[in-house]
Structure 1
Amino acid sequence: MRGTMMNFPLTLPTILERSGKIFPRVEIVSRKPDKSVVRTCYGEFYNRARCLSSALLRLGLKPGDRVASMMWNHSSHLEAFFGVPCAGGILHTLNLRLHPQEIATIAKHAGDRFLLVDDVLYPVYEKFRQDVSFERVIVAPYGCNTIPEGSLNYEDLLANSDADFRYPAIDENDGAAMCFTSGTTGFSKGVIYSHRAIVLHSFCCGLVEVFGMNEADTILPVAPMFHANAWGIPFAATMLGARLVLPGPHVDPESILELMVRERVTVACGVPTVWIAVLDALEKNPTKWKFGNPIRVVCGGTAPPLELMRRLDRFGLHIKHLWGMTETTPIGTSGGLRAHMRDWPEDKKYDTRAKQGWPAPFVEIRLMRPEGEAPWDGVTSGEIEIRGPWIAASYYESPDQAHRWTEDGWFRTGDVATMDEDGYVKIVDRAKDLVKSGGEWISSVDLENTLMGHPAVKEACVVGIPHPKWQERPLAAVVLKDGAQATPDELRAFLAKSFAKWQLPDAFVFLDAIPRTSVGKFKKTALREQFANWKWEL
């Protein structure tokens, strides 16, 4: 016997309607390139997103057409997050920090038909425009307010459209958004998120164990909207009626801190390198920024150093570390301390907070080794395999990547981890980043996190470099704090308190900056290439 419940579709128009009717006065704050601030609200956003849907349909948008966006985090980009999929299209957020030729390659692979671009980013488009064939280029006045000849003015399109239109028929399994992976594993691969996946993921974001966001929150997504849809926050915040603060192109630590204080932010999200820089600014000027409330800092992308958590806590910025990927929409785990852990010693609580948490609801994780599934003992490591309602089942038009999924339907992530008896995941490393030394495996992540606990170290990145005797040995690239000093012997002695001698880096190099990927992660491939011919002392 079947249940008697309605078969109600999980689609984005329902979220858009809810935002306009239930939360019309809730504010959306956008910062422009000149650092001026523009304030709008969900009521106005609702009307403008519907006007965008209407305009795209008048331009000939058909179901499943891809509309690319190359925009900073601001309210017009938020309108595209809903206006495109609510018209039946798929919004493809282009990573504007990639090389222009790579952007062109991705746009062509995706089959993007239209382009939405900020006026200040039009020069980036011009670098690859000869390599793509967008039918329409729609320019959003954002900074310079000039519309190049042959382009459509975003504001004029909306002004000449009618918000009173009927949504086209949309199935909950239709595509709504598209992102390409950052390419750190060799080349970018496309993921299409369905309406159903995004809606379910948005519910997940509201859980206390995940982002814990609600209509009382003010949320600052430092993560770019082209990086896994800013971790799903634009969709979830709109569904839940949370106030949004969108930082535009200025994500330096001082600009972030100024926004957090002035707008009384309660939740912020970004990769660890963002918060390392924020901590550095706070410690240099400990009285400059005063927060009126504790701030929940959602951190992902890579594991934040434990010492970063400790030191940010002193300023009222409390990191919650979660794990996910572009392929997981991106939430894979939820985290925090369980009730029975509240009275644990502080060091033990920090050790738990530094883990990646436990599988989010409806997400299943297993750790696989050559001999089978690894036990949940907190010691035995294996590759994370994952499945769930917002986990990708394939890449877009990439049949050569079918091996990333097991025969029984699990996605092979490439991350190596342990799980303890409470289900807490602890990432050991990316499989490709483990240092393979003399038949043993060394975790670069553990070495990095410990190094960044040294009082002189601002950033550290460890990579495996070819070695004539041991296959590979770890090399540590270190950025020191301003005015600080440290020698390789000092850093090696500091690590020796926590690691066996054979696990310690054989080489230390001091850099002004560590190379980063387009989404702010350490770019280990660049370091491996830079130091590939390192002269080891044998």
Structure 2
Amino acid sequence: MMMNVPLTVPMMFEHAERYFSKKVVISRTAGGIHRFTYGEISQRTRRLAHALEKLGVQKGDRVGTLAWNHHRHLEAYFAIPSIGAVLHTINIRLSPQQIAYIINHAEDNVLLIDPDILPLVEAIAPHLSTVKAFVLMSNTDLPDSPLKPLYSYETLLAESDPAFSFPSIEDENQAAGMCYTSATTGNPKGVVYTHRSIVLHAMALGLADSTAVSERDTVLTVVPMFHVNAWGLPFACVWFGSTQVLPGPYFTPQLLAELIESEQVTVTGGVPTIWLGLLKELEQKVYNLSSLRGVLCGGSAAPLAMVRAFEEKWKVPFYHAYGMTETSPLVSFARLKSYQDGSEEDRIQSLTRQGYMVQGTEMKVVGAEGEVKWDDREMGELLLRGPWIASEYYRDERSDDTFKDGWLHTGDVVTVDEEGSIKVVDRTKDLIKSGGEWISSVDLENTLMTHEAVFEACVVGIPHEKWEERPLACIVLKDLYKGQNLKLEILQFLHTQFARWWIPDDIVFVDEIPKSGVGKFLKRELREQWQDYYVGSTTVID
């Protein structure tokens, strides 16, 4: 028999406190760049935990955060779960109505708010039914505000105990955090993370064949801390003693490049739109990226051209991962196996895939006739299960549509090669059905973005009288090519790589593609905007 020692968030924190007190957190706020040792962060975190307890926060209470990536948010990541409460990170890029819904649905008792987000909270405050206290995450004087009671974060810390003892948490399956999905239809859905799931997920981030985060790393967390716990990186980095760089609000590609260079960042993580912006900045100015051992990419499929640019032009290893809010999020990671010695082109192509399941998680891929063959051709929906994968949504009847027979039905359509590496073909709702055949919008988008003139591309299915649906490509050109008539050239470019019936009937050139709060293309908006585009059209373009 083994010792029954619960896996908890304070266990991770206390390990860092004991062994990594000299390591550093570099935090950018509106007030500039700040540097704190983990020892200082430890005392501040214990002060925050004590302050929240004095505000009346009890076991199981929800504490919401509306904040960017900085040291105060990091302190909240550990202070809240360590007193038995639930860290609720709120996506500040959702609509005010959705944010109000999320706060009420979670029943948040206290809100921690960044100063620039204060006006948003003031506007929705009359609609908040459960919030008893507001805390401004700033070291400035409190402004006049209708929010009552409103407290100063730094004042609360100054009045609290830096040696505060966390209460004992005996049940590792107790709720520790929660996050809501980005809603494409209906209200956002809540996912609750347990102490156990957070610890096991953080451990997976340290595996050699995963992100391999370690004490020796300096990690720049670009993915927002309000999005799936910043992919679990803050938890893992504290536990492992990694130096952390938190870029704060309203960062730019230039700022990210400067931080990578000045802080000697070794690992950074974000969505494809972030890395497209960084590549654009690298074309404008020379930066030293030699410290980077890996750029982590997730959230949506990485375009081949982007992977190639990092790997071949800038000599920066590129790692593609897959996950979702319901999976904490990491479940698969793209790496070649030791015996896969293909060409350089094969290697680059493999990095655009979503890769193999991370140890501890399981998958099956189910099509119309049952589980699909591992031939990289037969398509099916990806189903997942594992110890850091949700089993239901929080107080939501839509759980039955997603969680069935012990499996999470992701809604992602994939193929699997003979090695078990998955490739996301599309979301079930984004696959284009034309003349009874399926077309992958993701494959078209990734190919379009290999064209030298294309900065971003999004392909959607538009209603068609004869073919049910036909693809329409929405393209943002690079600055150098704007104003040029490249429609025929780009369509001919696609003809060399796809069957004729896959080729979009037309291309529309746009200044910007609408995106969600975490940088994903909002295809629903494009479908609504262009829904009548093919009215009266009966032929597939030649």
TM range, smaller chain = over 0.9
- Any conservation in 2 of the 1:183–1:189 contact (CA below 8 Å)? yes
2:282 maps to what in 1? 282
Say which SS state the counterpart of residue 499 (structure 1) adopts.
coil
Counterpart contact for 1:209–1:335, Cα < 8 Å: no
Partner of 2:81: 85
Equivalent position SS for 2:322: coil
Query: Where does residue 383 of structure 2 map in the other structure?
Result: 385
Deviation string 1:340-363 (CA, Å, 9 cap, x unpaired) is: 12x321111111111101011110
By how many angstroms is 1:167 displaced? 2.2
Partner of 2:245: 245
Residue 269 (str. 1) matches residue 269 (str. 2): yes
Structure 1 residue 375, shift from structure 2 partner: 1.8
1:278 CA drift (Å): 0.8
Q: Return the alpha-carbon distance in structure 2 between the equivalents of residues 435 and 384 of structure 1.
A: 18
Match for residue 350 of structure 1? 348
Supply the distance in 1 between the matched residues of 2:412 and 2:141 (Cα, whole angstroms): 44
What are the residue-to-residue correspondences of 1:296-335 with 2, within 5 Å?
296-313=294-311, 314-335=313-334
Q: CA deviation at 1:162?
A: 1.4
Deviations along 1:17-75, one digit per CA (max 9) or x if unpaired, are: 111110001010011225x2100011111111111111111221121100000011000
Letter in 1 for 2:65: S
Q: Secondary structure at the match of 1:234?
A: helix
Q: Deviations over 1:287-344 (max 9, x none)?
A: x212232341000000110110111222133220000000000001022121112x32
CA distance in 2, matches of 1:384, 1:260: 35
Q: Is the CA contact 2:142–2:151 (under 8 Å) kept in the aligned structure 1?
A: no
| d(CA) in 2 for partners of 1:130, 1:275 | 39
- Please, what is the CA RMSD of the aligned residues? 1.3
* Equivalent residue number for residue 136 of structure 2: 139
Is the contact made by 1:269 and 1:299 (CA closer than 8 Å) also made in structure 2?
Answer: yes
Match in the other structure for 2:51: 55
Give the aligned residue type for 2:97.
Q
Listed as ranges, the matches of 1:47-446 within 5 Å are 47-133=43-129, 134-141=131-138, 145-148=141-144, 150-170=149-169, 171-285=171-285, 288-313=286-311, 314-341=313-340, 343-407=341-405, 409-446=406-443
Paired residues of 1:141 and 1:147 also in contact (CA < 8 A):
no
Q: Bigger shift: 179-188 or 168-177?
A: 179-188
Q: In structure 1, what residue type is equivalent to 2:399? A: Q
When residues 127 and 317 of structure 1 are mapped into structure 2, their CA distance, relative to the original with a 3 A threshold, is farther
Partner in structure 1 of residue 445 of structure 2:
448
In 1: Cα distance, 2:257 partner to 2:518 partner: 20
> Does structure 2 retain, via aligned residues, the 8 Å contact 1:49–1:80?
yes
Rounded to whole Å, the distance in 2 between the matches of 1:357 and 1:251 is: 30
Q: What are the ranges of 5 or more consecutive residues in structure 1 without an aligned counterpart?
A: none
Aligned position for 1:460: 457
Letter of the 2:486 counterpart: T
SS of the residue corresponding to residue 138 of structure 1 reads strand
**Offset at 1:527?**
0.5
1:16 matched residue in structure 2: 13
The Cα shift of 1:153 comes to 1.0
Moved more, 13-22 or 162-171: 162-171
CA contact (8 A) 2:463 2:534 kept: no
Q: Secondary structure at the match of 1:127?
A: helix
Distance (Å, rounded) in 1 between the aligned partners of 2:54 and 2:138: 21
The more displaced of 89-98 and 372-381 is 372-381
2:365·2:382 contact (CA, 8 Å) conserved in 1? Answer: yes
TM-score by length of 2: 0.95
Pick closer, same or farther for the CA change 1:83–1:298 going to 2, 3 Å: same
Shift of 1:126: 1.3
Q: CA deviation at 1:148?
A: 4.2
Secondary structure of the corresponding residue to residue 322 of structure 1: strand
Return the letter of the residue paired with 2:502. Q
Q: Distance in 2 between matches of 1:209 and 1:520?
A: 26
CA deviation profile, 1:370-426 (whole Å, cap 9, x unmatched): 22111222111100000000000000000233121122x001000000111211010
CA distance in 2, matches of 1:297, 1:490: 32
Instruction: Report the Cα offset of residue 220 of structure 1.
Output: 0.6
Any conservation in 2 of the 1:381–1:418 contact (CA below 8 Å)? yes
* Partner SS for 2:479: coil
Find the aligned partners of 2:8 and 2:77 in 1 and give their Cα distance: 13
Structure-1 residue corresponding to 2:37: 41
String of CA shifts for 1:185-221, please: whole Å, max 9, x gaps.
5431000000000000000001122211111111011
Q: 1:518 & 1:486 partners in 2: Cα distance?
A: 31
Percent same amino acid among aligned pairs?
46
SS at structure 1 position matched to 2:229: helix
Q: Deviations over 1:220-260 (max 9, x none)?
A: 11100011010000100001000000000133211111111
Partner of 2:478: 481
Residue 532 of structure 1 and its aligned partner are, at CA, apart by 0.8
Separation in 2 of the partners of 1:209 and 1:371?
33
**More displaced stretch, 353-362 vs 155-164:** 155-164
Residues in 2 aligned to 1:164 and 1:13: alpha-carbon distance in whole angstroms: 14
The alignment status of 1:520 with 2:515, answered yes or no, reads: no
Aligned equivalents of 1:24 and 1:248: distance in 2? 23
Q: Is residue 72–residue 225 contact of structure 1 (8 Å, CA) maintained in 2?
A: yes
Deviation at 1:451, TM superposition (A): 0.1
Tell me which amino acid in the other structure corresponds to 1:401. Answer: S
Partner Cα distance (1:486, 1:382) in 2: 38
TM-score, normalization by structure 1: 0.96
Letter in 2 for 1:99: S
| 1:78-109 per-position Cα deviation (integer Å, ceiling 9, x unaligned) | 00000000011001111111111110011111
Cα distance in 2 for partners of 1:316, 1:465 equals 39
Instruction: For residues 413-453 of structure 1, give each alpha carbon's deviation from its aligned partner in whole angstroms, at most 9, with x where no partner exists.
Output: 00000111211010000000001111000000000000000
1:293 touches 1:316 (CA, 8 Å); kept in 2?
A: no
Matched AA of 1:317 = V
**Are 1:464 and 1:474, in contact at CA under 8 Å, matched by a contact in 2?**
yes
Deviations 1:461-514 (A, max 9, x none): 000011111111000000000121352211111111110000000010001111
Distance 1:147 1:118 in 2: 13
Opposite residue 328 of structure 2, the aligned amino acid is T
Distance 2:212 2:398 in 1: 38
Give distance in 2, aligned partners of 1:400 and 1:449. 32
